[in-house]
Copies of this chain bind each other. A is one copy, B any other.
Amino acid sequence: MNQSRQHFSYNDFIVGDSMSLGSKNMTAEEVIAFASEFDPQPFHLSEEAGKATVLGGLAASGWHTCAMLMRMMADTFIRNSDSQGSPGLEYVKWLKPILAGDTISATTTILEKRVSRSHPTLGIIRMNHKIINQSGVLVCEAQGSIFMRVDAQEA
């Protein structure tokens, strides 16, 4: 998949292709800011509380990880595309804690694509997303679909 293109349409997604979404350092400030608003559990708010749990330190909310994955997807291909949203996710696995200071890298692989039978202008692209930390350990995996507008000449 040509990641340098300016705009992504349905036909640009090739089944089997993988895209790097780049890397992101998760700072303590961001971890605490997200958690304060959406997931105010002690281990997402302080190093001390995190160390007292199986997480082992100040850990990012799993929802923060997902939101960051979304931002990385947006910056890589969704923002400049014919995206029409998403019907949801088949699963999300928070496999290992992401601790403050960790750098995560994400990769999206295109699993399948088809045009909706009931809405012939709507393409459905099924994707797998993997997130590793700076040690190469898989910390999160998710799978789901996005909707992409299909023009008559593409269908």
Q: Are B85 and A55 in contact (CB under 8 A)?
A: yes
Give, as a whole number of angstroms, the nearest-CB distance from A82 to chain B.
10
The closest CB in chain B to the CB of A53 belongs to: B84
Chain A interface size, as a band, is: 35 or more
Q: Does A133 sit at the interface, judged by CB under 8 A?
A: no
Residues of B within 8 A of A62 (CB): 85-86, 88
Residues of B within 8 A of A88 (CB): 62, 91-95
The closest CB in chain B to the CB of A85 belongs to: B55
Q: Does A41 sit at the interface, judged by CB under 8 A?
A: yes
Q: Does A115 sit at the interface, judged by CB under 8 A?
A: no
Q: Are B87 and A43 in contact (CB under 8 A)?
A: no
The closest CB in chain B to the CB of A78 belongs to: B41
Give, as a whole number of angstroms, the nearest-CB distance from A144 to chain B.
8
Q: Does A26 sit at the interface, judged by CB under 8 A?
A: no
12 more A-B residue pairs beyond the given contacts A41-B79, A41-B83, A55-B85, with a C-beta to C-beta distance below 8 A:
A38-B67, A38-B70, A38-B74, A41-B74, A61-B70, A62-B85, A63-B63, A66-B66, A85-B97, A88-B91, A88-B92, A92-B92
The 9 closest A-B pairs by CB, nearest first: A38-B67, A88-B93, A89-B92, A88-B92, A88-B94, A38-B71, A39-B70, A63-B67, A63-B70
